[in-house]
Protein backbone atom coordinates (compact mmCIF):
# COMPACT_ATOMS: atom_id res chain seq x y z
CA UNK A 1 0.00 0.00 0.00
CA UNK A 2 1.58 3.21 -1.12
CA UNK A 3 0.34 6.77 -1.32
CA UNK A 4 2.01 9.67 -3.02
CA UNK A 5 0.87 13.22 -2.40
CA UNK A 6 1.65 15.98 -4.86
CA UNK A 7 0.47 19.39 -5.99
CA UNK A 8 1.83 21.60 -3.26
CA UNK A 9 3.56 24.86 -3.96
CA UNK A 10 3.70 28.58 -3.30
CA UNK A 11 0.55 30.60 -3.81
CA UNK A 12 -0.66 34.04 -2.81
CA UNK A 13 -3.44 34.47 -0.32
CA UNK A 14 -6.78 34.05 -2.04
CA UNK A 15 -5.34 31.67 -4.58
CA UNK A 16 -6.02 28.00 -5.22
CA UNK A 17 -4.16 24.72 -5.34
CA UNK A 18 -5.23 21.15 -5.99
CA UNK A 19 -3.46 18.38 -4.16
CA UNK A 20 -3.46 14.84 -5.48
CA UNK A 21 -3.01 11.57 -3.64
CA UNK A 22 -2.10 8.69 -5.93
CA UNK A 23 -2.51 5.17 -4.59
CA UNK A 24 -0.79 1.98 -5.62
CA UNK A 25 -0.73 -1.56 -4.37
CA UNK A 26 -4.33 -1.71 -3.20
CA UNK A 27 -7.92 -1.22 -4.29
CA UNK A 28 -8.66 2.39 -3.45
CA UNK A 29 -12.43 1.92 -3.41
CA UNK A 30 -12.24 0.03 -0.11
CA UNK A 31 -10.38 2.76 1.73
CA UNK A 32 -11.30 6.02 3.37
CA UNK A 33 -8.93 8.79 2.30
CA UNK A 34 -8.08 11.67 4.58
CA UNK A 35 -5.97 14.76 4.32
CA UNK A 36 -3.97 16.05 7.26
CA UNK A 37 -1.65 18.98 7.62
CA UNK A 38 1.13 19.85 9.98
CA UNK A 39 3.16 22.92 10.74
CA UNK A 40 6.55 22.28 12.37
CA UNK A 41 6.21 22.50 16.11
CA UNK A 42 2.44 22.12 16.05
CA UNK A 43 0.09 19.17 16.26
CA UNK A 44 -1.10 17.48 13.13
CA UNK A 45 -4.56 18.63 12.07
CA UNK A 46 -7.14 16.48 10.33
CA UNK A 47 -8.42 18.53 7.41
CA UNK A 48 -10.87 16.36 5.50
CA UNK A 49 -12.04 12.79 4.88
CA UNK A 50 -13.91 11.11 2.07
CA UNK A 51 -15.61 7.75 2.30
CA UNK A 52 -14.57 4.77 0.21
CA UNK A 53 -16.89 5.51 -2.70
CA UNK A 54 -17.27 9.22 -2.12
CA UNK A 55 -20.70 9.05 -0.54
CA UNK A 56 -19.85 11.19 2.44
CA UNK A 57 -17.24 13.72 3.43
CA UNK A 58 -15.97 15.58 6.46
CA UNK A 59 -14.25 18.94 6.73
CA UNK A 60 -12.57 20.64 9.64
CA UNK A 61 -14.20 23.95 10.51
CA UNK A 62 -11.01 25.75 9.53
CA UNK A 63 -11.40 24.73 5.87
CA UNK A 64 -15.14 24.22 5.47
CA UNK A 65 -16.49 26.11 2.49
CA UNK A 66 -13.01 26.60 0.99
CA UNK A 67 -11.67 23.08 0.49
CA UNK A 68 -13.28 20.23 -1.43
CA UNK A 69 -12.21 16.61 -1.19
CA UNK A 70 -12.95 14.21 -4.02
CA UNK A 71 -11.77 10.93 -5.42
CA UNK A 72 -11.62 8.99 -8.66
CA UNK A 73 -11.34 5.33 -7.74
CA UNK A 74 -10.83 4.30 -11.36
CA UNK A 75 -7.71 6.49 -11.43
CA UNK A 76 -6.76 5.46 -7.88
CA UNK A 77 -6.43 9.10 -6.97
CA UNK A 78 -7.95 11.40 -4.38
CA UNK A 79 -7.87 15.16 -4.51
CA UNK A 80 -8.07 18.16 -2.24
CA UNK A 81 -9.13 21.33 -4.03
CA UNK A 82 -8.11 24.29 -1.93
CA UNK A 83 -9.62 27.68 -2.73
CA UNK A 84 -9.44 31.05 -1.00
CA UNK A 85 -6.18 30.03 0.60
CA UNK A 86 -4.99 31.88 3.68
CA UNK A 87 -1.50 32.21 5.15
CA UNK A 88 -2.65 30.01 8.03
CA UNK A 89 -3.17 27.18 5.55
CA UNK A 90 0.59 26.97 5.15
CA UNK A 91 1.68 23.47 6.17
CA UNK A 92 2.88 20.12 4.92
CA UNK A 93 -0.15 18.23 3.71
CA UNK A 94 -0.36 14.46 3.97
CA UNK A 95 -2.87 12.01 2.61
CA UNK A 96 -3.69 8.81 4.45
CA UNK A 97 -5.78 5.71 3.84
CA UNK A 98 -7.76 3.48 6.17
CA UNK A 99 -9.66 0.34 5.20
CA UNK A 100 -13.41 0.72 5.35
CA UNK A 101 -16.33 -1.60 4.69
CA UNK A 102 -18.86 1.23 4.47
CA UNK A 103 -19.32 4.27 2.28
CA UNK A 104 -19.56 6.65 5.22
CA UNK A 105 -17.37 8.90 7.31
CA UNK A 106 -18.30 10.68 10.51
CA UNK A 107 -16.94 13.80 12.10
CA UNK A 108 -14.36 11.73 13.97
CA UNK A 109 -12.97 10.12 10.81
CA UNK A 110 -9.63 11.90 11.32
CA UNK A 111 -9.16 9.93 14.55
CA UNK A 112 -9.09 6.58 12.72
CA UNK A 113 -5.86 4.57 12.86
CA UNK A 114 -4.68 5.37 9.36
CA UNK A 115 -2.09 2.79 8.47
CA UNK A 116 -0.91 4.17 5.15
CA UNK A 117 0.50 7.63 4.65
CA UNK A 118 1.86 9.63 1.76
CA UNK A 119 5.14 11.49 2.02
CA UNK A 120 3.67 14.98 2.33
CA UNK A 121 3.58 17.99 0.04
CA UNK A 122 4.36 21.53 1.16
CA UNK A 123 1.80 24.26 0.71
CA UNK A 124 2.97 27.81 1.31
CA UNK A 125 0.51 30.69 1.20
CA UNK A 126 2.02 34.14 1.13
CA UNK A 127 0.20 37.20 2.43
The percent of the chain in helix, strand and coil, each rounded to the nearest 5, is: 10, 50, 40
What residues contact 42, with CB distance under 8 A and at least 6 apart? none
Q: What is the mean pLDDT of residues 119-123?
A: 96
| 107 — pLDDT class (breaks 50, 70, 90) | confident
Write the DSSP symbol of residue 11: E
Backbone phi and psi for residue 81, each to the nearest 5 degrees, phi listed first: -85, 120
Q: What is the radius of gyration, based on Cα positions, of the chain?
A: 13
Question: Pick the residue with more confidence: 101 or 72?
Answer: 72
Res 85 pLDDT > 90 = yes
Res 1 pLDDT > 80 = no
Average pLDDT, the chain: 95
Amino acid sequence: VQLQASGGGLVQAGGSLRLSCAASGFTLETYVIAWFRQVPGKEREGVSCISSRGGSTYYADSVKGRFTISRDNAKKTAYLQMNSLKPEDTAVYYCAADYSRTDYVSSICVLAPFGSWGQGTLVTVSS
